[in-house]
Chains A and B, each alone.
Chain A
Amino acid sequence: MAETALIDVKEHNLLAALRGFFKTVLKQEEISAILVPRRLPVTPTVMPTLVTDPKHLDAADPLSPAFPINAAKIVSRLTRRESGGKVAAVMRPCEIRAFVELVKLKQGRTEDLVIIGLDCLGAFSNRDYFQWISEDADACTEKFCSVMLTGDSSGGSRELASACRVCEQPVPAGADITVGLFGVDTAGRIPVTAQSAAGEDLFAKLGLRVGEEPTARRKAIEKLVAERTAARDAMFEATRATVDNLEKLTGYLANCVNCYNCRVACPVCYCRECVFVTDVFDHEPSQYLRWAARKGAVKMPTDTVFYHITRLAHMSTACVGCGQCSNACPNDIPVMELFRTVAHRTQQAFDYRAGRSLDDKPPLAEFKEDEFQEVVGIEA
């Protein structure tokens, strides 16, 4: 049974309450550092920051609609090997899911790590965020929260990033400690819940006031998930219709210039060096001529569609739908829509959901003799 405590929000200042909570966590002897989205000095840019001095937490802003990078990759760097200390990491649900995938791929470890997950209010695309943010960043974040939590958009609002609009998993699963926001009176008290043994351990030491999760939270989540799921399915359908043959797919990806930004931004693309930048695609000059001769014309660069298909083949079982690929594309290709649509089917086929649990083996890592007989043509 999960344990829940309540944190007081004073003077309607949700950010201050969260910063106070992070400080309490950092104070614990066993915690060496806390990784948290934090505004950088001078600019309003928010980046994951590894903090050891509590005063730096005054700039922490886990609720800002800035999502420049998926922190799963950062956490994987911090935990790949023993670091000699324990880190608490404040992560979005999609970051936690991506991290779970990376752990399965031996790119990170959950030992010496406590994950703190917040109900995710979503984020803007990078471009939108920079246009939207103003000097008083705290006020901006507050306004954003109020729009997202109460629906009060009187102060004017922007659309969330495409990935967030269709995100049906805005609640942190797989975190050790969660902070609830949906359906919660954020002017009063917000619930903090220990979700794992490691979470309970830390929880016990924090000296928080025990309480109960507001009942409205579950209802609010159900409603939100239902809306998002409907939006997601509509997106799937629309995307499928746009890419259901090779010609259409080629059109869909026509603006790709092989910059590979999407693979750099992808949290689960874990290769040290992508196969597309190795010698494998170092074609002979005579090869280009042969291709051109065979078809009469050949588009350059040649390996764009192939690149995306390969990435789909490699990563669609691990795609968590964070949308960083679309965020990173300089030519506005809706990469996330394509990947999520394909990933959804792929994961469904293996009864797998990326990031769901560390106990689910990645589908391609285990061999089951009796699956997909209709595909492989072997009857049991």
Chain B
Amino acid sequence: MHKKIGKALVVGAGISGIRAALDLAETGYGVTLIDRSPHMGGVLSQLDHQFPTDRCGMCKMLPLVDRDASSQYCLRKGLFHENIEILLSTELVSVDGEPGNFQVLLRQKSNWVDPQRCIGCGECAAVCPVEVPDTFNVGFSPRKAIYLPLPHAVPNSYIIDLSACTQCGECEKICPTGAVCLSEQERKRFRILVVDDELIVRDSLKEWLEEEGFSVDMADSGAQALQKLANDTFHLMLTDIKMPGMDGVELLEKAKEDQPGMCVVMMTAYATVETAVEAMKIGAFDYLVKPFEPDKLIPMVVRIYEDLEATRGRRVEAGAVVVCGGTAYYDPSSGINPFGYKVLDGVVTSLEFERIFSGSGPSAGKLVRPGDGRPVRRVAWIHCVGSRDLQAEADFCSSICCMYAIKEARLAREKSHGEVETTLFFMDMRTFGKSFQRYRDQAESVCGVRFERGRVHSVVGDPDNGDLLIRYVDTAGKVSESRQDMVVLAVGQRPAAGSAGLAAALDLPLNSWGFGQTEPFSLTRTARQGIFLGGSFSGLKDIGESVTQASSAALAASRVIHQSGGSLALETPPAAAPRNVLREPPDMLVVLCICGGTLVQNGGGSVLIERLSVDPAVSNVTTIDKTCTSEGWEQLVELVEKHKPNRLLIGACQPYVYARKIRQLAARIGLDASLLDVVDLHLSAVRSPNDPCDPPDGFHPALRRQLAALETGLARLKHVDPVRRSALKVQQRALVVGGGIAGMSAALAIADHGYPVDMVEEQATLGGNLQWLKRTLEGEDVTALFDETRQKIDKHPLIETHCSSRILTSFGKVGHFVTTVETEGEELRTLEHGAVVLATGGKEAPTDAYGYGTSECIVTQKEFEMKWADGSLDAGKLNSVVMIQCVGSREEPRNYCSRVCCPSALKHALALQKENPEISVTILYRDMMTTGFTETYFTEARRRQVLFVQYATDNKPTVKVDGGGARVTVFEPIVGKELEIEADLVVLATGIVPNLPGKLAAAFGATIDPDGFFQEAESKWRPVDSLKEGIFACGLALSPRSVTEAIATAEAAAQRALRILCRDSLPAGKIVATVRRSLCSLCERCIDACPYQARALDANGEKVIVNAAMCQGCGECATVCPNNASVVDGFGQKQMLEIIDAAFH
């Protein structure tokens, strides 16, 4: 039973939008997911590889629990979920109302092709005479005016690019299913009423307009016009002003009362123009001065018509709105220094490079220069194009370019087997994410990518041979030149087109660069309650961060809907249990779609019917025309109701289109949906050039393939064995381990949804690192946040806090864990819970480097923060402070960036400067990791004369304690000399180490990574989940991050846990594996092979058991089992053999 407890709107169907929509849908909300483009997937639809795995994996975001509610195929191709309505080519117009009860107006553009009818055959594109550059391949390859916006989408429907279409009508003529409906035809539905007392005027207008395809009706007076308006709907009225009896103005007034949406154009003689102008004030759209020619009238009517068509308004209700509007990329040609972009062959942007490198790209993955097609042997990437550049008005870092540039360079090396030389020209290599630093190091040491620190001045072409010459300034200040075949500009972020409009429509603030602005300590909350931001709308993020933020936004939206009482509740009645057909012999109805006659043209109809009828399982074979249309479908339903078969096979096209219809039909006739199937006759009928023209037995190969497709379906249906699995009960309460800001945020998020939470904290008090952190770089008050959060925790009736406590043991699985907790001075306690969130935090890494511990003048960042807060540091008494970054970080064995140290150093430096403007602060760094908008503080610090000296790991600074202070020496690359700095205080940035004992993680079935952080199921697509379902992590246990980011991960983890806690039982998927015990030899190969840890040996070691909720039906177990003792429901071996046999027809 699905209980939709509320509705949400998600704007933008890129990766963040999809994540937010799926999260909300999995929690049971109805979701409307809109995107203004005609396809889903955002920019990711164009990217084939993602770091650090260098492949895709988007499908890992699909639901793991109750997965039958969703499509289970490549997510880049498309998505279906019972609770999600997807509206493409749709924009948001306005949002009214209040949180919990918004009224949203959407505008959906018509693409002139009916997706319900389009079978994607491509005949239309073949005849279309218009060719334009293809946006999917960033303009590198051509496409027609009627085209597939995403070549790989499923189902895939053509659309018409209105700006390119000449409306020649060729596509409409050739379309076999009548899916193309050019405006000419649509125009018939546009009804015009002509009102004039002169017959000749009426007649000639009618003639002109009908010639254009519109429907025209006439009235000779105002009274007659009103009568017609009362009986019929009209879209446009053309009315004379001067008429006997009721004049045009009066008619206008009365007509507007009746049909307020109708457009009215006044026709007037020159003398009454003033009246016409007055009429416009009371609602007329425009006026025409008589006498006029058709070329005056027609364009005006067409414009009115098209405006109306373009704005088919649609109203939806939503409790909350998640805005995942995405981002755009900098266009280098718009800048002061375009680096030869759009001028020189071989200069491309990073996105263009992705397309060139893609198998579905313009050169099918071959690395050649667009333009002159020259093979590429040397490629260079220029970082920070349109980022960190005050000239380009970009005082920000775009956060992801360093990593995607490394990825592209690595791929270029690997795919060319090391033949392509790759060089990255960068200022700071920002490898701040989990595993990024090692990925970068490997790029250099294993893959052979060259890293060149420096600033590129310009790119020029060599007129002799077309080479590209990069002029750059290296770290020593020397100007050098580098010769390349291709230069990739790693372009940064810009607000997506229309962001300002969207923000205005939603009344959302933007930051000074036009990106979405969120509230302090939140990545998702905006100034407007009930509207949240996900993904890159508030600044570019990588996939993992976007997905985390999207889940966090989904949580926030869910909170609002929940708190407003789950308004707009929709409840669907429980479906009746389907009829059990297991004991009945197969009684199959086969329906073949003749598809506008194409089936018969192949000479196939009768042959197919004859062949299929032979099978004893088939009781009826019949044909229908255009099953895809509503008329066709109704016919089919009638047939099914007449014959009452226990299995139904449909031969049509685009099987995916039928998914929803099949479910509905199955429910209607009381059959399990797996007993109904659609096979693709269209694809198999496509003639291959290898087919013989005149087959000897008169049996065309295409027909043979169709028969094979049908017999395959037949074999499948014959052996379908629909078994209902019992659901697993869920303990609807959560355990949160750790009481820092992440743990507290997660506990609150879950408890606010009405589920009890136990929070276990090792220390005597809550708060973790918030006990000593006082302020953020942005100046936000951390202590206030701590107090506020702790109060909420204390007051929450559903949260029970266990301080001075630790986890002893745990066993169980998603839905039901049993955990033993030991609290100091108390008896052991056993907690039962359905999910667990690990928020065990982390701490500043200890160090003995740079003389730490030998003098009071050498402190860590944490000590600085604490001394600064308690007033024991007096900036006025300090002359010189040296800060050393990356102490023990970003090199083995702790080879990761801790992400918070660079912003902390800036925070401390700026605070010192503010107190004592005379002070000298020197920051010794390797790469300044001021990502996103924190870059401005880096700029600010340099402006305030903070000195930055870059050092290399093979030539680290040294610190010598000297009296009360220290002498720091460092090699300064620009002057090329050692500097010696007298310092009163040396601050060491030692980074973060996690506090997640491997034993604790293992108790729940999770694992830790080599650095001791929680090992996520997938760094991009499932960043807060464990591979074993039901275990989530957040905060520093996951990876180093700021307070705000920790809260976002906590909310994301809570959201992921809520997907489970919101159900009283977990439905197992229909396709799960089972064990036939009488055949099983207990070799346990299936246990090793199961990637979801869904299998185990029972306590006696006598049988293999399968956890149906954890099993994803992947079939690994059945593959390794030699004698079919392990089987996947719906894929029985007998069935599979018969299917294969049929396929070899």
Contact = CB atoms under 8 A, between A and B. Distances in A.
Interface in B1103-1145: 1120, 1122-1125, 1133-1134, 1137-1138, 1145
B794 to A, nearest CB: 48
Contacts of A287: 1138
Nearest to A289: B614
B1134 A272 contact: no
Interface residues of A, number: 26
Pairs A-B, 7 closest by C-beta atoms: A271-B1123, A314-B1122, A105-B1083, A275-B1123, A280-B1133, A280-B1134, A275-B1124
Interface string A96-137: 000000000111000000000000000000000000000000
Given A365-B1088, A365-B1089, A379-B415, A280 B1083 contact: no
A359 interface: no
Contacts of A362: 1085
Interface string B1078-1099: 1111111100110100000000
B1066 to A, nearest CB: 27
A364 B1120 contact: yes
A246 interface: no
Contacts of A275: 1122-1124, 1133
Given A273-B1123, A275-B1133, A280-B1137, 10 more contacts: A106-B1083, A271-B1123, A272-B1080, A272-B1123, A272-B1125, A275-B1122, A314-B1122, A364-B1085, A365-B1088, A379-B415
Nearest to A286: B616
Given A278-B1079, A279-B1134, A280-B1137, A105 B1123 contact: no
Interface of A: 105-107, 270-275, 278-280, 282, 286-287, 294, 314-315, 362, 364-367, 378-380
B414 interface: yes
B781 interface: no
A379 B54 CA distance: 10
Contacts of A271: 1079, 1081, 1122-1123, 1125
Interface residues of B, number: 27
* Most-contacted residue by chain B among A274, A280, A314, A366 (CB, 10 A): A280
Contacts of A107: 1081, 1083
Contacts of A270: 1081, 1083
B1080 A278 contact: no
Contacts of B1125: 271-272
Nearest to B1144: A294
Nearest to B55: A378
B393 interface: no
Contacts of B1080: 272
Nearest to A380: B414
A15 to B, nearest CB: 37
B414 A278 contact: no
Given A275-B1122, A314-B1122, A366 B1088 contact: yes
6 contacts: A105-B1083, A107-B1081, A282-B1134, A365-B1088, A366-B1088, A380-B54
A378 B1091 CA distance: 19
Contact of A274 (B1089, B1123, B1138): B1123
Contacts of B1123: 271-275, 278
* Most-contacted residue by chain A among B616, B1080, B1083, B1088 (CB, 10 A): B1083
B415 to A, nearest CB: 7
B615 interface: yes
A367 B1089 CA distance: 8
Instruction: State the majority secondary structure of interface residues on A.
Output: loop
Nearest to B615: A286
Contacts of B1133: 275, 280
B534 to A, nearest CB: 31
Contacts of B1081: 105, 107, 270-272
Contacts of A272: 1078-1081, 1123, 1125
Contact of A106 (B415, B1082, B1145): B1082
Nearest to B718: A284
B1123 to A, nearest CB: 4
A362 B1091 CA distance: 17
A379 B1120 contact: no
Nearest to A81: B1101
Contacts of A105: 1081, 1083, 1085
Nearest to A102: B1083
A314 B692 CA distance: 39
Nearest to A291: B1141
Contacts of A280: 1124, 1133-1134, 1137
B1124 A365 contact: no
A129 to B, nearest CB: 31
A89 B857 CA distance: 73
Contact of B414 (A286, A314, A379): A379
A379 B417 CA distance: 11
Contact of A365 (B1078, B1079, B1085, B1134): B1085
Interface string B581-625: 000000000000000000000000000000000011000000000
A111 B8 CA distance: 61
A272 B1103 CA distance: 14
B703 to A, nearest CB: 15
Interface in B407-431: 414-415
Nearest to B711: A290
A107 B1080 CA distance: 12
Contacts of B1145: 294
B1124 A106 contact: no
A362 B1085 CA distance: 9
Contacts of A286: 615-616
Contacts of B415: 379
Contact of A278 (B54, B1083, B1124): B1124
B772 to A, nearest CB: 43
A279 B1079 CA distance: 12
A14 B1120 CA distance: 46
B1120 A365 contact: yes
A275 B1089 CA distance: 20
Contacts of B1083: 105-107, 270
A328 to B, nearest CB: 19
Interface in B920-972: none
Contacts of B55: 378
Contacts of B1089: 365, 367
A326 B1122 CA distance: 22
Contacts of B1084: 106
A280 B1138 CA distance: 10
Contacts of B615: 286
Interface in B398-457: 414-415
A147 B135 CA distance: 82
A152 to B, nearest CB: 46
Contacts of A294: 1145
Contacts of B1137: 280
A380 B1133 CA distance: 32
A209 to B, nearest CB: 43
Nearest to A293: B614
* Most-contacted residue by chain A among B1078, B1091, B1134 (CB, 10 A): B1134
Contact of B1079 (A273, A378, A379): A273
A107 B1145 CA distance: 41
A81 to B, nearest CB: 8
A174 to B, nearest CB: 19
